[in-house]
Structure 1
Amino acid sequence: MIPYGRQDISQEDIDAVTAVLKSDFLTQGPAVPRFEQTVSNYCDAKYAVAVNSATSALHIACLALGVGKGDVVWTSPITFVASANCALYCGASVDFVDIDAQTYNMCPERLAEKLAEAKKIDKLPKVVIPVHMCGQSCDMERIYKLGQQYGFKILEDASHAIGGRYNGLPIGNCQFSDIAVFSFHPVKIVTTGEGGMAVTNDEHLAKRMRVLRSHGISSALEDMHERSPDEIWNYQQIELGFNYRMTDIQAALGNSQMVRLDDFVTRRQFLAMRYESLLSNLPIITPIQRANQYSAFHLYVVRLKLSDTNRNQREIFESLKDRGVIVNLHYIPVYRQPHFEKMGFLAGYCPKAEEYFSEAITLPLYPGLTEFQQDQVASSFEMALS
């Protein structure tokens, strides 16, 4: 059986975790700030805040950006539900911007059109969350210019994209955003088991996210409310926060994985290019990579040319699974989920997203995938299409 994604754990990773297990700190020790520094250095961002999941990072990032009741947050429909849920957690409402038909990222043209209409009725978004689908960056420079024009904040959901580059610079440098968020789930580029990270160049945002990840508690003297000098106050809860901390065990694994990040992405790039050759004669559309992009290739999504085959998407999907190739679908448009349909969203709301949904299949891609296994995937795919 060939999974669509899989972690790559080395002996060095195991040794790093074992060292923490033998140390004095399993959580809130030196490994977490060391991991934060590693990621911020890699991305060329000033600050990094480690948390227990990318979902948590999205949540506290929205709060740090001031999202609350009465606000609207826009994101892509082709993403995991967390990209939209983070706005709902804050009491805000959410809306969706249709995708670019080639990259599957938020379409800047649709965004510009939607912003112009929203301005007419005074319903502009507080925050826009572009999602770097499959590991390729959105067109962040264009989105940033729209942000300057219309006054919204930008939160990059880069959960798929650590190790990728945009305009020659590392994704996560926040040149065109306020905050960027990474995921370290086991099938992502690097893993901490579960975990996430928010990076920013804004000291105030970083400080606010650190407080929010730990119950809203601060030990900084400048945050403390004045109390009796006879009482011991070594920390204070200054607002309502959450238990979103990352452990030292997770951070140690993350630090060790970061050593191989560039190797992981290079391998993913190689396998993606090899798929391009192996699948060239099949009735499908393979992923494109823009000239100013270097995708982390977290996912390898193909689109079926269903008019050129006598089988439908589900039949092809099930046929591959029956042959031991565990494919997936990334993603069902978020607004088609029952929870969002209850809010009033209807089928057809984002036409390009729904066209994509009806044709997409995610093939296996991860560093440990061998060329022999990849040949098996290609052969099985050809048979499933026939």
Structure 2
Amino acid sequence: MKPEIRSSMLPYGQQWLDEDDINAVVKVLRSDFITQGPAVREFEAKVANYVGAKYAVAYANGTAALHGACYAAGIGPDDEVITSPITFLATSNSVLYQGGTPVFADIDMNTYNISPDKIQAAITNKTKAIIAVDLTGQPVEADRISMIARNHNLVFIQDAAHSLGASYDGKKVGTLADMTMFSFHPVKHVTTGEGGVIVTDDETYYRRLLQFRNHGMTREPEEMMRNDGPWYYEMQSLGYNYRMTDMQAALGVSQMDKLDGFIMRRREIVKAYNEQLSDIKGLVLPQQHPKADSSWHLYVVRFLADCFDGSRREIFEALRQYNIGVNVHYIPVYLQPYYKGLGYTEGICPNAEAYYETAITLPLFPKMSDKDVSDVIAVVIEVALRYAR
């Protein structure tokens, strides 16, 4: 029997806000601070403590935070930065913002994360940094990447937009790289509406990150060239207005209290998917690296072309016809028209392109009911059988 069409679209991801979250924001609105104030500092401390980092610097969004990390790393013109092509545009764009050149290294076809071997092969005398992306919530091979970075005197930035709460080799993401970025967009594990944080144990990076988000400005007397009095401030570099507001931060503080519960529910949904979909021929389910413990931002399956008569697009649209809000994460960045205009061409990363041609993201978020999960499973099975060879 075919599954019923849902009355409304089930999104691939969605925030979960409750009255505690709403009240936290209202409290700020009734206070003296609505832009950057005490709630931002509280949120930064909460994130740093959760992941075990010394410092956290909050930004208006994840892209701004990545830009700040590239600035703090000293990336500039003539510098190359190795990164993954299977990521959102912000990762490599943050390199371009600093005048650097993104170098795309291919992915591992088991984890879909950047391959350490491909990173090693891409290093030149112009390489300044590595930005490794924790796709879907699964941490990259941080031990191998850290070793490569140390051996070549490179900065290791971990784009952990998907992996708050994940761990690798028993260590929380946030303690594995020189700088780590977390995103708080509504589809992420917890949300501030828009928002991002860089965590680091390095005080020099910390000071640079603070200045960069606030016009390159400081009010710290020990950092100034001169000091005319209590009103005095200095702009010491060209920064941006990338500050997070107290309204955002208050929501983040409240949401962080729910993070472990949200991750637990994500893992329950993944377990159900794995158990119910594992017998479908040609449907490749996500695999975890043996050292990784994913926090499961996304659940990506691949429909292998030689096992199904329909194209990925046909299968995608068939799933959508049941109001299952599948998506695709991601188009290889260098295939975008802007990047082609910079000289990037097809064929740079064959694994990434093969992955893109077959990948579909299924809905996964804590607010999904058991009925929602059952609907997704039933529709995937029905559509897979319909197009099976």
Partner residue, 2:66: 58
Q: Deviations over 1:280-310 (max 9, x none)?
A: 2223110112232110100000011221111
Is residue 280 of structure 1 aligned with residue 282 of structure 2? no
Compute the TM-score of the two structures, normalised by the length of structure 1: 0.95
Q: Deviations over 1:125-151 (max 9, x none)?
A: 101000000001000000111111112
Alignment of 1:273-352 (within 5 A): 273-282=271-280, 283-352=282-351
8 Å CA contact 1:76–1:98 kept in 2: the answer is: yes
8 Å CA contact 2:103–2:122 kept in 1: the answer is: no
Following superposition, the deviation at residue 384 of structure 1 comes to 2.2
Partner residue, 1:247: 245
User: 1:168 & 1:85 partners in 2: Cα distance?
Assistant: 31
Partner residue, 1:89: 97
Following superposition, the deviation at residue 234 of structure 1 comes to 2.6
Following superposition, the deviation at residue 18 of structure 1 comes to 1.0
Q: What amino acid sits opposite 1:211 in the alignment?
A: Q
8 Å CA contact 1:223–1:238 kept in 2: the answer is: no
Of the structure 1 ranges 106-115 and 253-262, higher mean CA displacement relative to structure 2 is found in 106-115
Partner residue, 1:113: 121
Following superposition, the deviation at residue 232 of structure 1 comes to 6.3
8 Å CA contact 1:52–1:245 kept in 2: the answer is: yes
Following superposition, the deviation at residue 344 of structure 1 comes to 1.4
Runs of 4+ in structure 1 off by over 4 angstroms are: none
Identical aligned residues as a percent: 44
User: 1:345 & 1:27 partners in 2: Cα distance?
Assistant: 40
Q: What amino acid sits opposite 1:272 in the alignment?
A: V
Provide the alpha-carbon RMSD of the alignment: 1.2
Partner residue, 2:5: none
Following superposition, the deviation at residue 106 of structure 1 comes to 0.5
Q: How many residues align?
A: 376
8 Å CA contact 1:278–1:375 kept in 2: the answer is: no
Q: Deviations over 1:203-224 (max 9, x none)?
A: 1111110011011111100122
User: 1:130 & 1:287 partners in 2: Cα distance?
Assistant: 19
Is residue 157 of structure 1 aligned with residue 165 of structure 2? no
Question: Out of 47, 56, 66, which is 2:55 matched to?
Answer: 47
Equivalent position SS for 2:302: strand
User: 2:307 & 2:43 partners in 1: Cα distance?
Assistant: 49
Is residue 206 of structure 1 aligned with residue 214 of structure 2? no
8 Å CA contact 2:269–2:364 kept in 1: the answer is: yes
Partner residue, 1:355: 354
User: 1:251 & 1:165 partners in 2: Cα distance?
Assistant: 24
Q: What amino acid sits opposite 1:182 in the alignment?
A: F
Which stretches in structure 2 are left out of the alignment for 5+ residues? Answer: 1-8
Compute the TM-score of the two structures, normalised by the length of structure 2: 0.94
User: 1:112 & 1:148 partners in 2: Cα distance?
Assistant: 12
Equivalent position SS for 1:104: coil
Question: Out of 27, 38, 49, which is 2:35 matched to?
Answer: 27
Q: Deviations over 1:233-274 (max 9, x none)?
A: 432222211010000000000000100111111111111111
8 Å CA contact 2:82–2:119 kept in 1: the answer is: no
Following superposition, the deviation at residue 191 of structure 1 comes to 0.3
8 Å CA contact 2:82–2:122 kept in 1: the answer is: no
Of the structure 1 ranges 239-248 and 218-227, higher mean CA displacement relative to structure 2 is found in 218-227
Q: What amino acid sits opposite 1:154 in the alignment?
A: F
User: 2:290 & 2:306 partners in 1: Cα distance?
Assistant: 30
Q: What amino acid sits opposite 2:242 in the alignment?
A: Y
Following superposition, the deviation at residue 57 of structure 1 comes to 0.5
